[in-house]
Amino acid sequence: MPTKYLLTVFLLTSIAIIFATDVIIKRDRTYLRSGKGSYCTVLTQIPINTKLRVLAQEDSWLNVSYNAQTGYISETSTQEQKQRNDAFAKMSKTTGSTVSRHSISAGVKGFGEKFSSDFKGDSEFIAIALNDQIDQDMYMKFYQSTYAETNPKTFRKTFPLPKRSEPDYYTEAQEGFGLGIASVIAAQGIYRNTEAHKYVNYVGNLVVDASDIADISFKFYVLDIPAANAYACPGGYIFITKGMLRVIQNEAELAFVLAHEIAHISGFHGIIEAKKRENQIAAEDAFDMLDDETPDAFSESGKETEAELEAEIFSMFETLIEGRLDQYEQEADRNGILYIARSGYNPQAAAELLQRLYQQSPKSNNQHYRPESIRDRLTAVKRNVLPYTGTRLKYFDFKERWQANTRKM
């Protein structure tokens, strides 16, 4: 038998041995996806403690077989994570888990609708957000065009991610809370431009793929308001305004704004700046019956959890209203710069955009885009960008692609 043939057989056998292994799911809300990316279709949800056979590993995704289906799970779903002990986590534990593809977001929907009602948000946005999904074929064309002249692994190997101190997923109750807040933000007016919506989602998902929370299904929206602003809601709902897009001058700057918001979600900062004190939920009616999918969440046995959750929500509001989150802004800037560098975007775009925002002082309804906050952020950003300069890496700005996709806005 030819030596070359024997070597081929040996290599193939070795690969099979390497990947013919079992893993245990150690994280709640583990999704089996059609591809290796959070933008890919969810096939089903896999319960915690399930044993799976690994067929192959591609980057940070595992190709696995589960209940006669083959798909991808995040590698982090097989790793021990810090256990949550907050009221949101306790609420989610009372709802039970479903694995049907059609009911996979039922819990999130129930919580989202309830919080949206309490916050007086846009109820129609709930269905829109839960059903939104980017065209995977079109996104892959965008991805391939982005990295036509470079390998994204080059950037990621150069700038590794630090070890996370927080879990990399949101519970159903937390995401439902974020969805409720998102419905309030959406009530300001979604920009009805399909192409702009697609473009922002493509850029956002490039950054998500390079982040440390790549298994959350992020949704990106453009608000039809002139104020320069951006919002991040727990669970992966991100908004950027037309006013901000008009200040931005290239795709790298757009990537930084989205990366900054992704970093807020990664850090569990609970950003809800658009919420006003008078819209806070009232104790007597905030926790009425939820959707039928979550019947036990607010039962008599859950009264203690209810009180904890109420206190937690009010604490979030107080923290945000009193403006004690500048430290979160600088943390989001620092991690956002890391995310865009790992995506291949020019990190210098962060400083250039903040410098322009500071000089122009555009109207904003977000206290973190007030001049004094931008000034402090800019000082830190200029320092944070330094480690990314002086390399041989060829970052990109994609100014022409930015102009082509935003000229009609």
- Residue in the block written with tokens 């702009």: 196
| pLDDT confidence of residue 329 | 87
Q: Which domains are assigned to the chain? A: 3-78 (2.30.30.40), 87-277+320-406 (no CATH)
Residue numbers of the chain with a pLDDT score lower than 70? 1-20, 83-104, 270-325, 362-370
| pLDDT confidence of residue 88 | 65
| Token digits of residue 290 | 């939820």
This prediction has a pTM of 0.84
| pLDDT confidence of residue 324 | 46
* Beta carbons of 318 and 270 less than 8 angstroms apart: no
| pLDDT confidence of residue 321 | 39
| pLDDT confidence of residue 362 | 58
119 backbone dihedrals φ, ψ, rounded to 5°: -85, -5
- Picking from 348, 222, 332, 196, the residue whose alpha carbon sits closest to that of residue 266 is 332
| pLDDT confidence of residue 240 | 96
Cα separation, 329 vs 326, in Å, equals: 5
